[in-house]
């Protein structure tokens, strides 16, 4: 991949993202033209334009539809770059951002709030906060279990992730089994499969800020991420302080994944397939993989959310079902391609 | 000038002694060969020198400074390694892999400068892989892969190059090509070698290892004697001279 071709690809993806966002905002029971959307956007950004939009249209676009579409883009980008970074961290192509226990930890937090009414003093923020705390405590446990003699072992990290996920899932299932509230159980199921319906300007600020910080930090270290793919020994001889760098990735990736899961539930598959799809096109160099994954991830999730909104309208399908249904067959198609090795090398 | 000093290092895993009280020094510009049978501790000793493993006791100094005190980046600017195994997860082009040799010189966000591209293309030319620049690493043959890893190590512009059995899996032409290439480099080399005739032909000094200890050291003429080969490698050898290179040459035979 040459630099000019990469820049071209990047601009094309930015264009596709903007068009996808416009489409997604247009979609709904109140018909809105693309022209009106951009007029309102420019007006809100302080650029004076003449607009024919009504006040109702402006509210629907600005307060309801746009936050949701932007959250979809943010979540998609976050999960995709976290997946790419985690795959380098554990040097394993089947890894996804949830492999360190984030989603099962978050599920316990969410279930406690929905079924047992914990943190009710916090009102609408209780669910996100509990999910975030659950996610971070699960990762902290996995991390501590994987430390031996002051070093983080990759295989222990993976196995501890599986063990902690099993324990936390058991806790969630136990609470679900013991619960008598049908509505509550349904709400937990809905949450676990992911939804972007709760998007507001007030709750997309934190994911946006975290995504920005984590993306910049990872991108600044793309050389180290590349070196990790060569193995622990080679990365060390290339000047990477392996242990410190691993801790760095674990902290920031878990932080971003935790924040995203807290607002949208654990949307599966995005963090696994997007990095692979991107490598098929741009190669393995993280200098290209990270920005491309962010854009492709956000485009994918914007479209997945559109499908989630219309497929059983006026009901909403949990977005996790859409990502799995669209992602699965596509991933199988990739598996059958010869040219892409999924990191097997030979 | 002494670059690297190894002072009575030992290494053990739980109760098993792998290396036992090894001392030697490496002077600037030397080509040192490490020879010894399988399991004699050659690779372990090299791994301690490039700090992948930490010795149980003893001291390694680089420029008279404790090796363990070096920040990882500074270490990588001084010591470059071509190790035996080079698994690569996901695929990189040859050019990308050689560029990774510049990693120890890069601060956060620093881009690849013209200087880096020049060093990368020089390294590829030296290792004779310029024509492979845009190929994927996984598509290459064993010998080509070795040369790519060598080019990456060269791009590190280190003072010391450590090679762990660099001629393994190479055909005879590429064995000699690689040895010729590294001998011409203006840097200090420490290489573990299996082929004793290659060691005799290219090294200034040889370290002979047996059972984790340093059995003997000296010029090829001093250490490659009938007696040493008998005792360390358990083979009979007839020591002769290569009529073309005037270097030591060994003929091996058994009693059967």
Distance from CA of B174 to the nearest CA of A (A): 22
- Which structural domain, as residue segments, surrounds residue A270? 3-336
Distance from CA of B51 to the nearest CA of A (A): 8
pLDDT for B35 equals 95
- In this complex, do A220 and B86 lie within 8 Å of one another by their Cβ atoms? no
The most confident of the ranges A73-82, B81-90, B91-100 is A73-82
Distance from CA of A23 to the nearest CA of B (A): 35
User: Is the pLDDT assigned to residue A129 strictly greater than 80?
Assistant: yes
pLDDT tier at A339, thresholds 50, 70, 90: low
C-alpha closest to that of A39 among A26, A29, A48, A30: A48
Question: pLDDT tens-digit profile of B132-145?
Answer: 999 988 888 888 88
- Alpha helices, DSSP H, located in chain B: 42-49, 72-78, 94-99, 114-126, 142-155, 172-184, 196-202, 220-223, 226-228
User: Is the pLDDT assigned to residue A53 strictly greater than 80?
Assistant: no
pLDDT tier at B211, thresholds 50, 70, 90: very high
Q: Is residue A344 in a domain? A: no
Q: Is residue A181 in a domain? A: yes
- Which DSSP symbol is given to A122? G
Tally of structural domains, chain A: 1
Q: Is residue A345 in a domain? A: no
Q: Is residue A82 in a domain? A: yes
- Which structural domain, as residue segments, surrounds residue B92? 2-253
User: Is the pLDDT assigned to residue A337 strictly greater than 80?
Assistant: no
Q: Is residue A342 in a domain? A: no
pLDDT for A346 equals 41
User: Is the pLDDT assigned to residue A224 strictly greater than 50?
Assistant: yes
Q: Which residues of B touch A240 (CB under 8 A)?
A: 72, 103
pLDDT for A217 equals 95
User: Is the pLDDT assigned to residue B167 strictly greater than 70?
Assistant: yes
Give the phi and the psi of residue B30 in degrees, each rounded to 5: -75, 155
Looking at per-residue pLDDT, the higher value among A298 and A121 belongs to: A298
User: Is the pLDDT assigned to residue A63 strictly greater than 60?
Assistant: yes
Mean pLDDT, chain B, rounded, equals 91
- In this complex, do A238 and B104 lie within 8 Å of one another by their Cβ atoms? yes
Query: How many percent of chain A have pLDDT more than 90?
Result: 54
Average confidence (pLDDT) over A153-178: 93
Q: Which of A26-30, B113-117, B190-194 has the lowest mean pLDDT?
A: A26-30
SS3 A245: helix
Cβ contacts below 8 Å, chain A against chain B, sum to 91
Separation of alpha carbons A62 and A70, rounded Å: 11
Separation of alpha carbons A277 and A340, rounded Å: 9
Cis bond upstream, residue B200 (ω within 30): no
User: Is the pLDDT assigned to residue A119 strictly greater than 90?
Assistant: no
Query: How many percent of chain B have pLDDT more than 90?
Result: 64
CB contact, 8 Å: B89 with chain A? yes
Q: Which residues of B touch A149 (CB under 8 A)?
A: none
The DSSP result for A214-235, as a single string, is HHHHHHHTHHHHHHHTT-HHHH
Question: pLDDT tens-digit profile of B88-104?
Answer: 667 889 999 999 999 99
User: Is the pLDDT assigned to residue B110 strictly greater than 60?
Assistant: yes
- Which DSSP symbol is given to A45? T
Looking at per-residue pLDDT, the higher value among A179 and A54 belongs to: A179
Average confidence (pLDDT) over A210-224: 95
User: Is the pLDDT assigned to residue A229 strictly greater than 70?
Assistant: yes
- In this complex, do B103 and A93 lie within 8 Å of one another by their Cβ atoms? no
Q: Which of A96-100, A257-261, A277-281, A336-340 has the lowest mean pLDDT?
A: A336-340
Q: Is residue A269 in a domain? A: yes
Query: How many percent of chain A have pLDDT more than 70?
Result: 97
A93, A237, A279 ranked by CB distance to B76: nearest: A237
- In this complex, do A237 and B52 lie within 8 Å of one another by their Cβ atoms? yes
pLDDT for B173 equals 87
Tally of structural domains, chain B: 1
pLDDT tier at A338, thresholds 50, 70, 90: low
Q: Which residues of B touch A283 (CB under 8 A)?
A: 91-93, 96
Mean pLDDT, chain A, rounded, equals 89
Average confidence (pLDDT) over B101-112: 85
- Which residue in chain B is spatially nearest to A346 when comparing CA positions? B138
Distance from CA of A319 to the nearest CA of B (A): 30
Average confidence (pLDDT) over A306-321: 88
pLDDT for A75 equals 96
Q: For residue B80, what is the domain's CATH number?
A: 3.40.50.300
ipTM of the assembly? 0.88
- In this complex, do A231 and B103 lie within 8 Å of one another by their Cβ atoms? no
C-alpha closest to that of A25 among A49, A57, A52: A57
CB contact, 8 Å: B73 with chain A? yes
Distance from CA of A342 to the nearest CA of B (A): 7
- Which DSSP symbol is given to B110? P
Looking at per-residue pLDDT, the higher value among A269 and A46 belongs to: A269
Per-residue exposure over B78-110, b if at least 16 CB sit within 10 Å of its own CB, e if not: bbbbbbeebebbbbbbbbbbbbbbbbbbbeeee
User: Is the pLDDT assigned to residue A120 strictly greater than 80?
Assistant: no
């Amino acid at each position: 991949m040459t630099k000019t071709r990469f820049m071209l690809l990047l601009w094309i993806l930015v264009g596709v993202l903007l068009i996808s966002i416009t489409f997604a905002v247009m979609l709904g029971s109140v018909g809105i033209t693309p022209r009106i959307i951009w007029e309102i956007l420019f007006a809100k950004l302080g650029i004076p334009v003449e607009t024919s939009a009504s006040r109702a249209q402006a509210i629907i676009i600005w307060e309801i539809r746009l936050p949701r579409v932007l959250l979809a883009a943010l979540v998609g980008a976050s999960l995709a770059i976290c997946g790419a970074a985690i795959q380098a961290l554990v040097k394993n192509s089947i890894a996804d951002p949830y492999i360190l226990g984030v989603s099962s930890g978050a599920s316990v937090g969410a279930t406690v709030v929905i079924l047992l009414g914990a943190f009710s003093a916090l009102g609408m923020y209780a669910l996100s906060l509990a999910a975030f705390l659950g996610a971070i405590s699960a990762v902290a446990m996995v991390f501590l279990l994987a430390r031996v003699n002051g070093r983080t072992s990759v295989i222990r990290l993976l196995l501890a992730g599986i063990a902690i996920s099993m324990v936390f899932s058991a806790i969630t299932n136990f609470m679900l089994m013991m619960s008598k509230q049908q509505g509550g159980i349904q709400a937990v199921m809905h949450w676990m499969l992911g939804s972007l319906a709760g998007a507001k300007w007030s709750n997309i600020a934190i994911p946006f800020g975290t995504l920005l910080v984590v993306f910049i930090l990872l991108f600044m270290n793309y050389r180290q991420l590349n070196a990790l793919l060569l193995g622990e020994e080679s990365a060390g001889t290339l000047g990477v302080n392996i242990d410190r760098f691993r801790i760095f990735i674990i902290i920031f990736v878990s932080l971003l994944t935790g924040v995203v899961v807290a607002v949208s539930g654990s949307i599966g598959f995005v963090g696994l397939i997007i990095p692979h799809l991107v490598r098929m096109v741009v190669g393995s160099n993280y200098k290209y993989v990270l920005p491309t994954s962010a854009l492709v991830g956000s485009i994918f999730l914007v479209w997945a959310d559109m499908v989630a909104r219309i497929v059983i309208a006026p009901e909403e399908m949990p977005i996790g079902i859409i990502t799995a249904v669209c992602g699965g067959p596509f991933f199988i198609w990739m598996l059958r391609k010869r040219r892409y090795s999924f990191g097997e090398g030979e | 000038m002494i670059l690297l000093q190894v002072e009575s290092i030992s290494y053990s895993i739980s109760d098993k002694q792998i290396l036992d009280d090894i001392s030697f020094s490496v002077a600037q510009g030397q080509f040192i060969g490490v020879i010894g049978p399988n399991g004699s501790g050659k690779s372990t000793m090299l791994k301690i020198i490039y700090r992948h493993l930490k010795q149980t006791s003893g001291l390694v100094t680089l420029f008279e400074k404790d090796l363990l005190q070096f920040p990882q980046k500074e270490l990588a600017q001084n010591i470059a390694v071509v190790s035996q195994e080079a698994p690569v997860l996901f695929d990189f082009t040859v050019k990308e892999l050689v560029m990774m040799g510049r990693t120890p010189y890069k601060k956060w966000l620093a881009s690849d400068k013209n200087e880096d591209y020049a060093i990368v293309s020089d390294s590829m030319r030296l290792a004779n892989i310029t024509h492979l620049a845009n190929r994927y690493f996984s598509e290459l043959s064993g010998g080509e892969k070795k040369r790519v890893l060598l080019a990456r190590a060269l791009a590190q512009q280190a003072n010391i190059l450590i090679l762990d059995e660099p001629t393994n899996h190479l055909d005879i032409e590429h064995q000699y090509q690689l040895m010729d290439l590294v001998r011409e480099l203006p840097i200090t080399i420490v290489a573990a070698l299996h082929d004793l005739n290659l060691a005799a032909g290219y090294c200034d000094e040889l370290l002979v290892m047996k059972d984790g200890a340093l059995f003997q050291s000296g010029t090829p003429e001093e250490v490659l004697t009938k007696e040493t080969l008998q005792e360390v490698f358990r083979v009979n050898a007839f020591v002769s001279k290569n009529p073309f290179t005037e270097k030591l040459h060994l003929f091996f035979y058994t009693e059967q």
